[in-house]
Amino acid sequence: MPDNCLFCRILKKEIPSKAVYEDDSVYAFEDINPQAPVHVLIIPKKHIATLNDIKQNDPVLAAIFEVAKKIAKDRGVADSGYRAVFNVNRDAGMAVAHLHLHLLGGRAMTWPPG
Ligand code: AMP
Ligand code: ZN
């Protein structure tokens, strides 16, 4: 677990966060700079840098999506709609190299994304 990884530090509670959901393998918390009324980050508790680094059949990926479904339902956006996004590396504007699913909802969004 890299000492300098921001999200690993959040998991170790060295940096505060607003928890939304937690279990043995997954943590979800409010994005500090929300881009929509609902903007939750869902991360694996083990350090995985990006989607490129996920091992085939790693159950944590399904766990992350299950948590996204649950939070979308809890926040009332499951039917109105939401986005679930992994940014990967430079061209996607990835800023934190610890896998995180952005769950965004609560407003109409445009396509294509910027
Ligand atoms: P990305 O650009 O996909 O790497 O997204 C990183 C996200 O982490 C951005 O949406 C930031 O607003 C968010 N972020 C950065 N620092 C924190 C923090 N301390 N607590 C919560 N979210 C954060
Ligand atoms: Zn990390």
How confident is the model over 35-88, as pLDDT tens digits? 999 999 999 999 999 999 999 999 999 999 999 999 999 999 999 999 999 999
Domain range annotation of the chain: 6-105
- Report CA(33)–ligand 1 centroid distance (Å): 7
Active site residue 100: yes
| Mean pLDDT, the chain, integer | 97
Whole-prediction pTM: 0.98
Average pLDDT for 92-112: 97
Architecture of the domain made up of 6-105: 2-Layer Sandwich (3.30)
In whole angstroms, give the CA distance from residue 57 to residue 7.
Answer: 23
In whole angstroms, give the CA distance from residue 6 to residue 9.
Answer: 5
- DSSP state string for 9-57: HHHTTSS---EEEE-SSEEEEE-SS-SSSEEEEEEESS---SGGGPPTT
Residue from 39, 98, 100, 102 carrying the catalytic annotation: 100
What pLDDT was estimated at residue 3? Answer: 75
Average pLDDT for 6-22: 98
Confirm or reject: Cβ of 33 under 6 Å from ligand 1.
yes
- Which tops the pLDDT comparison, 2 or 11? 11
**Buried (b) or exposed (e) across 5-25, using 16+ Cβ within 10 A?**
bebbbbbeeeeebeebeeeee
